[in-house]
Every structure is written in C-alpha cells, then in structure tokens.
Amino acid sequence: MVEYEDFVETINIKSYEHLIDMLQGNSPNFREKYIFRGLGSVKHKLKPSALRKDKNGEYIINDYIDSRFCLMWFKPPIDYLKDGIITMEEYDSYKSEESISYSLDKYGNRISNSGEELCAVYSDKEFQFKRELYVLLKFLNWADRTGLKISANNKIRELIHENIKYKLDGHEEWPHKDFFEIISLAQHYGVPTEALDWSYDYKVSLYFATRNILDDNEDDCILWAFNHDFMEKNIFPNLTFPYKLHFYRPEYYTNPNLRAQKGLFTFMVNENYEIDERPFDEILVDDMINNIRINDNGDEFVGIYGLGHFRVPETEKLFYKFIIPGKLKHEILNELYVEGYSEDYLFPGYMGVVLGIENKVKLDDYVNSLGNPIESNILMKFSKNEIKAISKNKKYLFRKKGFKREIDKIFIYSNDFQYVIGYFDVGKVIKNSIEFLWDSFKENSTLSETEFYNYFKNYEYGFAIKINNLVLFNYPIKISNLKLKSKYTFISRFDKKLNFLLNFE
C-alpha cells in the first residue's frame, strides 16, 4: 500500500556537516534535480501566502486590503451547477438563503447593502480570487506610478486602476499564466499570492530557513527539497489530477534580488474553482496516491496503464524534508556568511550592505550570549586509526611530515572550494598521552576529569594546541592567493569537513 512516506522522506539533521553530506552525497545529480525552500519553523507548512491565516484564523492577505473592499454575493443560477463550477452541496446551501444576494466585507462577513459593491461573486473561490486580484492590481498601480519597472502585458495594464470586475472567461484557471510575471514579482517582495517561491541553490534556502535566529526564534526549521525534474518528466495530461502544476522562472534581468537568489516559483492552478487549504506536498502526494493503478503483474504505478504512467519512485523521493534543530541555526547561518551568502550578496545594493552589517553584529551578539565556544586551550584529538593514517601518510595530505617546531597559525579552510576562512593564533603544541594532556590542561578544561576521560577513552594519545585568538575573515581567501611561509602542513579529517592548514614559524 503506497503512503505519504513513499513520496516524502523526513531526515533529522544532526549537524551542518550531516546536512551537507545529505545534500551533496544523496545522488549524483541531486542538486540539479531538486529545488529548495527554507521555512523558519517546523510549524510552517508549504502553503502559498495568500492562503495563510493569522493566529485569529483570518487570511493574512486581508492586511493588504482596505475597508472600501465590498463585494456582492449572488446565489448562483442553476447553469453554474450544470457547468460544474459549484457543487450540489454548495447549491443546496445557496437555495436555503432567503435573499438572492447580499454584501460581503473583505473578511467574508455579511454586511448591510452599501450600494458601493465593487463587483459580484458566485463562490468562495471567486471571492478569494477577487481578494488576490485586488491586492495584485494595487501593487501594480503603486509600483508603476513610482517609476519601477513592471513586466505586464497590455491586458493586465488595462486593469491598473484596481479594476477587479475583470472575470476569467468560462473555465479559465486562476492563477492565470498572463499574471505569472506580476505575481512572481509581488510575491518576491512580500505580497501574499498563490505562488510558492523556491531556489535552485540550497544555500539560499538555508539562509531563509535560519535567518530568524537573529530575531531570537529558536524553533527547529525545515529545508524542503522538491524533485522538479521528476515532476516535469512524468506528469501526463491524461492523469486525473484536479490541479495543474506550473514551474515559472521570472525574467532575472529585471530583478537583481531574484537573480542573486536563483529563484523560481510554483503555481498550483485549481481547475475546480474551489479553495484547497492543504499544503503543497499533501496536495501532490494525495493526488499521486489517488492515481495509483496496478498492472497485470501486480506492480503499482501512477497513471493510466497503457496511456501515460510512471512508477512510484524507489531511489528518488518526490520531496525530502530536512528538519534542522534550532540550536544549529546560528552555526549554519555563520557558515553561510563565511561562504558569502549574506545580505549584501542576496539583496544586491546599498540596503543589502546595510542589512549585512547589521545582521552580522546581531549574529555575533547572539553567539556571544551563548558563551564563546572557542576556548583558550583546545585539544585536537585523533583516533587510533587516524594516527595510523597519519604515520602512513594516506588519509592526510602532508607537505611536511610531522611538526616538531612551534606552529605560528592554524588556518581553517574548505577542502571542497580551496578557500581559507580564518585562522587561530597558536601558542604551543603538545603531543602526548591523554593522562599527560589532562595534567597540562585541567586548569582550563571545560570538562571534569571524569568527563574528560570518558570522552577520550578510545584515544591513546593526541595533540593539545594552545591558541591565543580566533580570526575569521570577512571574505574567504583562495589558498592559491594566500601568502604562506615555507613550512606548512595540510590536515584533512576523514569527514573532509574539518580542515586545517598548519603554518610554521
């Protein structure tokens, strides 16, 4: 029996390195097949902003609608029922009303007829469509009259004075493709729409998942990965999905922010004129499951056998849901800053620079409030196997075997990108047994003697390094551009994530 978990895999992340391993080592072309979306809290769902509600249960889009918004609600004629625009249940409820029409405010509350209704609506979906169109046209009008570039065709520009009397002809869908560009622009700048924004770059989405730590939001967060490649190649028109899924990438040249963020949007177009409150992932998975068929061999697949179909994915999931603990947010955000994924890059322009300066201070203050994890004495520990690997010069790359002389600096670098991100100033290096190291470092150790021995009980000996300072560069420096002294050693740990470059006097 196929279930939700057959399409969506949830992974609880243990560390930043674990997350990167999952993203970079999941499959050969994982980052090409998937698009990403970051949510700042596990409480948030994959729902477009136009359908989100506040704590009082009201749609947040109402915050963008003024009080003069008023519509006339009509009981639909029998033709609407025949055409399939409304359901029998809806029609029965309309017939029970005493009056044939009444006025609604922006919340959908019935009010006295004012004579100033903007237009008439005949269903909940149409009422929602008019709300969205009202806000969208207000955005278009205000942005255009301030001289901002707006990509909109003549059909839409004719509506520029908030003319929400515009109707979709017949069974035409909403959101309609003619509005995709203006909806994408409005969504990118915070206007509630029926678009979901994604990024081709997982680090951009990680930024949006973790940045609310700067506002002291320590909720666990989510990085979603959606297999757009699978959907684009395998959805056939004969499948009985009540929705059409559209991927849309706006014109990058008109929006430097979107270009920097490598953004795109998905639209779930509703053909049934109904409001669906389910999250994006549930809609897709439920409709997949509803299209499950079984062939003559008893194999399950999605689709209509002999016409268009695809099998339930085994090696590739439709979604990956990476749950990131709140305690890792600051670490991940700091790593993103080091790699250049800060506001000055993601929001090109003077405002992005100012935000970057402000938020880096916030992040530093937050980290300092936790207590500085960089101690004055740090033990660099190696397992027995690692020590053997060092002696055989296999798992490590040594430019100089061993280090008997005092180390000047320990540079921290990324092996994947060959960039140095900072360094420690070093005092002395001690290589000896764990007992010796405890005697030497117990006065400054953050562990008790029992904790110390329990933690290092599997190690015979290691290196203890006294450091004086930690310096992180504002921007990473390529190793080839770093002026090093003649004697130095590269050390790459087995996980290939903890990397040091030892620089000698």
Domain boundaries, the chain: 377-504
Q: Which amino acid is at 17?
A: E
Return the pLDDT at 300. 58
Beta bridge partners of residue 103, listed in sequence order:
72, 111
Cα separations in angstroms, 485 against 118, 409, 425: 75, 10, 15
Return the pLDDT at 297. 61
The Cα–Cα gap between 262 and 207 comes to: 13
**What are the tens digits of pLDDT across the range 225-264?**
999 888 877 655 545 555 778 899 988 887 888 899 999 9
Sequential DSSP letters for 241-272 = -SEEEEEE---GGG-HHHHHHTEEEEEEEESS
Return the pLDDT at 407. 67
- Whether 390 and 382 have beta carbons less than 8 Å apart is answered as yes
Q: Is the previous residue joined to 325 through a cis bond, with omega within 30 degrees of 0?
A: no
Task: Name residues of the chain where pLDDT drops below 70.
Answer: 1, 25-28, 75-100, 113-115, 168-172, 234-242, 270-274, 291-314, 371-407, 413-419, 427-434, 437, 440-441, 443-447, 452, 454-468, 479-505
- Whether 472 and 422 have beta carbons less than 8 Å apart is answered as yes
The pTM score is 0.68
Helix, strand or coil for residue 310?
A: strand
- Whether 76 and 264 have beta carbons less than 8 Å apart is answered as no
The Cα–Cα gap between 300 and 285 comes to: 15
The Cα–Cα gap between 438 and 444 comes to: 10
Return the pLDDT at 425. 73
Helix, strand or coil for residue 187?
A: helix
Indicate the Cα dihedral angle 398, 402, 407, 412, nearest 10°.
30
CA-based max dimension of the chain: 94
- Whether 38 and 217 have beta carbons less than 8 Å apart is answered as no
In the chain the first and final C-alpha atoms are separated, in Å, by 66
- Whether 411 and 454 have beta carbons less than 8 Å apart is answered as no
CA atoms within 13 A on the CB side of 28: 0
- Whether 184 and 151 have beta carbons less than 8 Å apart is answered as no
**Tokens describing residue 239:** 């499948």
**What are the tens digits of pLDDT across the range 38-89?**
999 999 999 999 999 988 888 999 999 988 888 887 766 555 555 555 566 6
**Tokens describing residue 463:** 């290196």
CA atoms within 13 A on the CB side of 252: 9
